[in-house]
Structure 1
Amino acid sequence: MLNERNGQILENNTSLDKEMMGDDTFLRLRRITGEILEEALHDNVELATLIDGAIDEILQGVNLSEKLQRMFRKCMLNTITTTLVQKQDGSAFLFTGDIPAMWLRDSGGQLRVFLNLDDPTGKLYDVIGAVIRQQFRYVLLDPYTNAFNFTGNGNCWSEIDQSERQNPWSWERKYELDSLCFPVELAYFYWKQTGREDLFDSEFLAAVKELIRVFRVEQHHAEQSEYFFIRDNGSEQDTLSNQGRGTEVGYTGMIWSGFRPSDDACEYGYLLPANMFAVVILGYLEEIMAAFYSEEGELLTTITILKKEVQEGIAKFGTVDHPTYGEIYAYEVDGLGNSNIMDDTGVPSLLSLPYIKYCDADDDIYQNTRRFSLSTDNRYYFEGKAAKGLGSPHTPPGYVWHMGLAIQGLTSMDEAECQELLRLFETTDAGKDLTHEGFLADDPTVYTREWFSWSNSIFCEFILKEIGKLKL
């Protein structure tokens, strides 16, 4: 198991990925992956051995089926042995999985689970720190890019993309508010779990100033932002309307986002889960600024004011009265009276609000929203012969996401519900001992993305919660 490699997953892929991508794209991604691996410093076997030993200790004496224990081990090791590239210069790069790019969001989600492990050698923490530093370097390169290349070589998902600037480091330039939140979350948890303070240097400060600048600009998207994005491929979810500027919005105090965590275009520009996540990480930044940058009083004040404005916008514009569920959070609003009432699997989602630490799981509005999210009144909740759960417009109708099942478990206060979710993980992996993106609720052997590291990591967090060993 320690010897699994990227190439093996690509060769043994039985998902719908090749069919959905097309032969040319699928083979191009494999070629780029191979080129990146040639630059790797080593194969991470030593690091994987350390993690395997930690997993032995974690699983000792737990009340968990052999199948779930095997899945937990394989999913944990998958990130280290197949997606982590330690570079010659001491930096690190983290594949999202089957796409040879590093997403700011995914890389944060992939590594969060590892901060639950004790690391007496410090080697695991060293690598996590290297990835965080790379995240903030990317923010400085282009805060509007959601996914980055291994080097500035111009590789990209689509050569037809149009935006206000070109960046050879940019794999895809879909501006997503949550992408700027995940590196801050990981840095904060890293500090709190390891006690290490070396991240908080001048480069970190410069990146924070840049993301705060973007937040401020995107509070006034129509008036102040130069950003636009057009991908004229016939798919509405891949491009922004209104000549790439998105639908019209009014001022709310919230921060505009072009795309969702699924990388699909927002219907309305104020994505509530992303703004809630922004409130959380602005609180983390307040704490970091006070602890390490006492001379940056003006920046701290700006962060505090921004957090207050976003939270006030959420309170004023972010809820609706639903005839069945009462007061619930909308998924998106435009500040002009329109709202999108739905939930999507991609984190941050409305279902994930306690997971991102915006509210407690027993919060009344959250509980109302949760009941809506996990019902067929939410058009992206699906029930089938083999499973039921949250899906996404990013995958075909009727597909349930493993990530959604894990988030449902991580935010649940009902042990019977959690036991049923564990059963679903045991029976919907298509015999791979890994999680996927979406699988057909009627037939889990039909699925997308065999190699999706972030989903594996969130599953492992759910397992840690269920055995009482989740620290974050």
Structure 2
Amino acid sequence: MPLLNTNSSSYRVPILLTSLTTRTLCLLGLLSILICLNIYFVCAIVLPSFTSTQPSPPLEPPSQPYIPPYYGVPSQRIPLSQRKFTSQAIDDYLHHKSKTMTDKDLVTLLNNCFPNTLDTTIEWYDLDFPHTFLITGDIPAMWIRDSTNQILPYLPFANQDDRLKALILGVLKTQAEYLYYDPYANAFLRPWYATAMVQDKAAPLHGRIRDRVIPQYDSQYVWESKYELDSLAHFFQLGNDYIKATGDTSGVFGNILWIKTVRRIFQVIHDQQKGTWETEQQQQQQKYVRPTKPPHPLASNVTHARRRDAPLPLPLAQGYRFTRMTDRPTETLGANGLGGVSKRCGLVKSAFRPSDDATTFPYLIPANAHLSAQLKKLSQHIRTTTTLVAHDNTALHDIATEAQFLGDTIHQAIYTHAIVHHPTYGEILAYEIDCYGGYLLMDDANTPSLLSLPLLGFINDDDALYQRTRRFILSPANPWYFSGTFGHGVGGPHTGYAMIWPISLLVQIQTATDEDEVRQCLDTLKQLAMVTNGWMVESFHKDHPDAFTRPWFSWANGLLGATLASVDLRFPHLL
């Protein structure tokens, strides 16, 4: 047989095809692997770099609950046997808050301060009458402004405690008695009917006997006659807030003396809307009599104060003047007792501020704002009362009309004349103006203040004008804002340089929207209480809190309770 010829073409073709097929398959496999790797590279690396979707950030751990610092504020509420007035509703509230509040320092402060007015300042009351006489604390007199602020924090509990409700109404009725006698006076002594109803063998107290005032008061009734517009606004506020809290319109509108008092207050408002020279010219035509030094009270009939007969109301025809022999310019008025010169513009003059210091320019804007808001509220209360007292519906309707007119007039005048431009803060409210173009940029700790305007019902706390004004007040641009190593806040001329008032910090808390601001102010007050024996005081030094004034100041104590109630509504976790 012939040998196999491997070089022949018939055998070379199959072998070549087999070799080509193997190599092709390998190449195809490698190509497939490369394609898969490229697809993975594009999908996993390239495409994510071009997409805008970012991976979700890791969840933050839940925030830790606020743990307030504890300083050990001392408990100072006086024993039950020594308290001047007790309210079961207030005691139940304190007991409840003591169990629910986690900040034990604030619990102690609340128990010390909130009942302080009831515990220590109710000097006389008759719940059947009803009338109430309370003092400011370490001064044995009843201020219209202070007594309103001292008693207001208890209004939310009035319908839970009939005795407390009568006590509050008694404050309003006593204020009406006082202001009917002298609507220009700011502070009064124990009323004539109260003296007759108690066994008081001590010699009666007397008010300022050397001040030369028109109208001239009897110092057996009046402690001091500094005309402060906010006193009238606070009188209206107590009535308005009492009606809102209790629904008892007859207790206010059914009081004939209240109606007579409001009429005399309206007379004062209209007189104090006049310009200075307008008043001077009018009084010269009326044969104005220069105020003279009053007789010493011991020369008068002191037994008159022990009768139930009310003194005759003082004449108001000659307006108001005040002079005092003093080395402090804030304690007297210039221009022969008239005070700063002003032009009629719809606003109402105020001879003195809520601090009892004389005004620089007569139109005190916070007091006008306060009065405007309260007059409009009064008008609304009267108009919405479905059943007016039958004996004097016409008089009440007239009061409502006049109150609305005056409230609107004052409101418009503030926005027309009291907004000024500050180079840093822009358009803000001035503290005082004269409507001749003069204005004073500042704020004082005492309310009504510019800082407290939302609390007075005049403006919303988120209003841009208020927010700009607030930033100015809480800055070095306000000459009475102090910042020290211990505290930061507003003071005033009454206590002078570097002295901050707790009242201003409490108002700052109530008008703050920032939690950190509230927390910082609360912490300052807690540390302050460590050196003031557990109480709020009038003022303290910005660097040295142990330098403070008036350790017994009921208004500030009551305001702390109201402020904590405000914090409880807005930032409950801080308590």
Pairing of 1:361-380 with structure 2 (within 5 A): 361-380=461-480
> Is 1:421 the counterpart of 2:521 in the alignment?
yes
- 2:259 equivalent in structure 1: 205
Q: Partner of 1:445: helix, strand, or coil? A: coil
> Is 1:80 the counterpart of 2:118 in the alignment?
yes
Contact 1:2 1:49 in 2 (8 A): no
Contact 1:410 1:462 in 2 (8 A): yes
Q: Which moved more, 1:151-160 or 1:330-339?
A: 151-160
CA distance in 2, matches of 1:157, 1:401: 27
- 1:15 equivalent in structure 2: none
- 1:242 equivalent in structure 2: 335
Pairing of 1:153-232 with structure 2 (within 5 A): 155-156=205-206, 158-164=208-214, 165-168=216-219, 169-197=221-249, 198-201=251-254, 202-220=256-274, 222=276, 223-224=278-279, 226-232=319-325
Pairing of 1:114-125 with structure 2 (within 5 A): 114-117=154-157, 119-125=159-165
Instruction: Choose the corresponding residue for 1:318, options 418, 422, 440.
Output: 418
CA distance in 2, matches of 1:43, 1:181: 33
CA distance in 2, matches of 1:395, 1:2: 27
Pairing of 1:28-67 with structure 2 (within 5 A): 44=83, 47-63=86-102, 65-67=103-105
Instruction: Choose the corresponding residue for 1:295, options 366, 391, 394.
Output: 394
TM-score where L is the length of structure 2: 0.72
Contact 1:436 1:447 in 2 (8 A): yes
Pairing of 1:253-332 with structure 2 (within 5 A): 253-290=346-383, 291=385, 292=388, 294-296=393-395, 297-332=397-432
Instruction: Choose the corresponding residue for 2:495, options 395, 401, 407.
Output: 395
Task: Report how far residue 117 of structure 1 moved.
Answer: 2.8
Higher Rg of the two aligned structures: 2
- 2:145 equivalent in structure 1: 105
* Cα 1:339–1:4 shift into 2, 3 Å: farther
- 1:463 equivalent in structure 2: 564
Contact 1:4 1:78 in 2 (8 A): no
* Cα 1:141–1:43 shift into 2, 3 Å: farther
Contact 1:140 1:207 in 2 (8 A): yes
Contact 1:145 1:175 in 2 (8 A): yes
CA distance in 2, matches of 1:243, 1:97: 33
What code does the residue aligned with 1:370 have? R
Q: Which moved more, 1:307-316 or 1:357-366?
A: 307-316
TM-score where L is the length of structure 1: 0.87
- 2:546 equivalent in structure 1: 445
* Residue deviations 1:302-343 (CA, integer Å, cap 9, x gap): 222212221121111111010100100000000101001100
* Cα 1:234–1:421 shift into 2, 3 Å: same
* Cα 1:278–1:66 shift into 2, 3 Å: same
CA distance in 2, matches of 1:319, 1:235: 30
RMSD between superposed Cα atoms in Å: 2.0
Identity of aligned residues (%): 33
- 1:23 equivalent in structure 2: none
CA distance in 1, matches of 2:357, 2:522: 29
Contact 1:354 1:360 in 2 (8 A): yes
* Cα 1:46–1:304 shift into 2, 3 Å: closer
CA distance in 2, matches of 1:156, 1:372: 42
Uncovered stretches (5+) of structure 2, i.e. residues with no partner: 1-75, 193-202, 280-317
Contact 1:155 1:170 in 2 (8 A): no
Q: Partner of 2:268: helix, strand, or coil? A: helix
* Residue deviations 1:396-417 (CA, integer Å, cap 9, x gap): 2001100000000011111110
Contact 1:154 1:171 in 2 (8 A): no
Uncovered stretches (5+) of structure 1, i.e. residues with no partner: 6-41
What code does the residue aligned with 1:75 have? C
Task: Report how far residue 87 of structure 1 moved.
Answer: 3.4
Task: Report how far residue 154 of structure 1 moved.
Answer: 7.6
What code does the residue aligned with 1:422 have? L
Contact 2:77 2:111 in 1 (8 A): no
Q: Which moved more, 1:419-428 or 1:281-290?
A: 281-290
CA distance in 1, matches of 2:481, 2:86: 39
> Is 1:95 the counterpart of 2:126 in the alignment?
no
